[in-house]
Chains A and B, each alone.
Chain A
């Protein structure tokens, strides 16, 4: 027999290891237990919530216009109330948390966004499946990078349109700006 002390220590270590494993499992499950981690948005300096045209009271604070570099034509498609807040129109108005379908058969439906990429296409492995004759198998993709949502067209046949302009390279999607795939239009909202 090995000496008692070694066995005692090993026995207790073994129990500790077992419990360590249990806690590792529970730690791996934490997002299930407490919900997905909330992404903190780095916007300490600028007050840029609420540019939603459907909300009656736009914030009076005029933010410094932060030009979205890839998207020079946003102002053209602005809805009436939004146009009155010109500075906010072009700037990234806070991170979008939902994708709203504005036209098409499912108009009005919202999809919550949690920072995970979202794929759109006819194939059933897309996160958002559109079954019509305009949509390609893997049509487009939304990716969240550096606090902004990028729209990638995945070489679709009929194209992805941001503000009625067909996109080539990935572009930033400003909030409340329609982008269209086939007969379905979407907007990002906060």
Chain B
């Protein structure tokens, strides 16, 4: 070997280190993300343009300035990801951006009917919340460089989640809205702490189950074809069943209670691989729900509205099926391809911007449009599950699975309620619905997905310890 060659090869040591980083394919991933992101932002702008064309017949530049805030915020997130999580999944941010932007366009469309403007306009507030949420996501990415630090705060996360869940019941700040007491009033705006509690609960369940799953999965008696746990190991499931039931009874929120309990069941199932947990849990929950529907008036009315919404007496009753039926009429009015953005009458349904945003979009974009939303959610959830599947450490696996399942379950509860598959409950459609707390929590979930997927791709294939 001649020495000049050696020098040429050996001297630029830092260059070769630089090339190591270039060797992986993050730049390709990030460029893909950028292209998809720009496409999503363009579609968002197009949606606002269509709304204006149909409703105003002129082009008003102000809303475009507003949605450009979303564009700028997601581009900032994209740049952050390039530097701190270059191997992260490239699909997640574009999907979230498109959902968020479609939500803003539809909210703006309803603002135009009810003629609200300035800070009163829900769309403007939604844009500000979006920007805040994305800034928070950037902070999460910057401060949580390794998701495993969250494992240290397992029990703190659990306690915080509990506190957040109970906050709406506190005397001064708690606030009931639309029957459910899930809000806290913070002066200028109100906040739904349960949305943040969702993430904390996922962290807590993941940490708790990673530590304790052996006793939950190893011992037990075999009965029929399933192996059932011991009585004393039933503790945690009973605790969370009680928690879910108390949310149901005291906060009068069927959807949230279903969401938390479902999240717990799936995570315990994933951790232990025992179907019996799911059977026990579902049995308990159904028993609780049936008892509640018999004894609690508001749950009972939800069931009644669900089963016989078109009964005139029920349609006119106090807790009527009016909203559900109006939503169904709206969807029917939309038909296959919708009335077109800005050409339907989604404002007839109560809460068209928050709880019924999917109904509003369904009316104006039709079944074809609803399926776009469902496909976007499906892709997002599939990415989350894929991250969980590819993960190497149990905590990361559990966390990704839990968060994506929570997202999926929430979408099911919302859209299932609107389309009368299950009783209607007041949850928000992730990213779409007007509401700051929901946006904050879902963009934090996006940040966690990005962090988890980056760590997974970065992990060595094999570690040899001498």
Binding site for B on A (CB under 8 A): 1-2, 6-8, 10-12, 14-15, 17-19, 21-22, 24-26, 28-29, 32, 101, 104-106, 109, 111, 116-119, 124-133, 138, 141, 143, 152-155, 168-170, 182-184
Contacts and interface: CB of A to CB of B under 8 A. Distances in A.
B20 A25 contact: no
Interface stretch (B10-18, B169-177, B189-197, B225-233): B10-18
B16 A32 contact: no
B234 interface: no
Q: Which 4 A-B pairs have the closest CB atoms?
A: A132-B466, A11-B340, A117-B23, A168-B1
A153 B379 CA distance: 41
Most buried by B among A18, A32, A155: A18
Nearest to B379: A25
Contacts of A141: 20, 23
A126 B98 CA distance: 35
Given A25-B379, A117-B23, A2 B57 contact: yes
A169 B16 CA distance: 12
A28 B23 contact: no
Contacts of A131: 463-466
B50 interface: yes
Given A2-B53, A7-B343, A11-B341, A128 B23 contact: no
Given A11-B341, A29-B379, A168-B9, A109 B39 contact: no
Nearest to B19: A141
Contacts of B308: none
Contacts of A138: 16-17, 20
A129 B464 contact: yes
A29 B91 contact: yes
A18 B43 contact: yes
B338 to A, nearest CB: 7
B464 A106 contact: yes
B461 interface: yes
Interface of A is mostly: mixed
B158 to A, nearest CB: 30
Given A26-B379, A119-B20, A2 B462 contact: no
Contact of B53 (A7, A127, A153, A168): A7
B53 A105 contact: no
For B5, B9, B39, B460, the residue with the greatest tally of chain A CB atoms inside 10 Å of its CB is B460
Contacts of A170: 9
B25 A116 contact: yes
Given A2-B54, A184-B464, A117 B24 contact: yes
Contacts of A111: 461-462
Interface residues of B, number: 51
Contacts of A8: 340
Contact of B375 (A22, A129, A153): A22
A147 B46 CA distance: 46
B36 A15 contact: no
Interface stretch (B198-206, B309-317, B364-372): B364-372
Given A124-B460, A154-B16, A119 B23 contact: yes
B1 A169 contact: yes
B466 A25 contact: no
A7 B375 contact: no
Given A26-B379, A184-B464, 6 more contacts: A15-B337, A25-B91, A28-B32, A28-B90, A32-B386, A131-B463
Contacts, number: 140
Contacts of A155: 9-10, 13, 16
B91 A129 contact: no
A168 B466 contact: no
Interface string B74-114: 00000000000000001100110010000000000000000
Contacts of A18: 43, 365, 369, 372
Given A109-B462, A127-B460, A7 B17 contact: no
Contacts of A106: 462, 464
Query: B36, B95, B375 — which one has the most chain A CB atoms within 10 A of its CB?
Result: B375
Nearest to B42: A17
Contacts of A153: 9
A169 B91 contact: no
B14 to A, nearest CB: 10
Nearest to A13: B46
A15 B461 CA distance: 43
A143 B50 contact: no
B39 A19 contact: no
Interface string B323-355: 000000000000001101101000000000000
A151 B94 CA distance: 38
Contacts of A169: 1, 5-6, 8-9
Contacts of A126: 460
B128 interface: no
Contact of A1 (B5, B57, B94, B460): B57
B465 A19 contact: no
Interface in B347-392: 365-366, 368-369, 372, 375-376, 379, 386
A50 B16 CA distance: 35
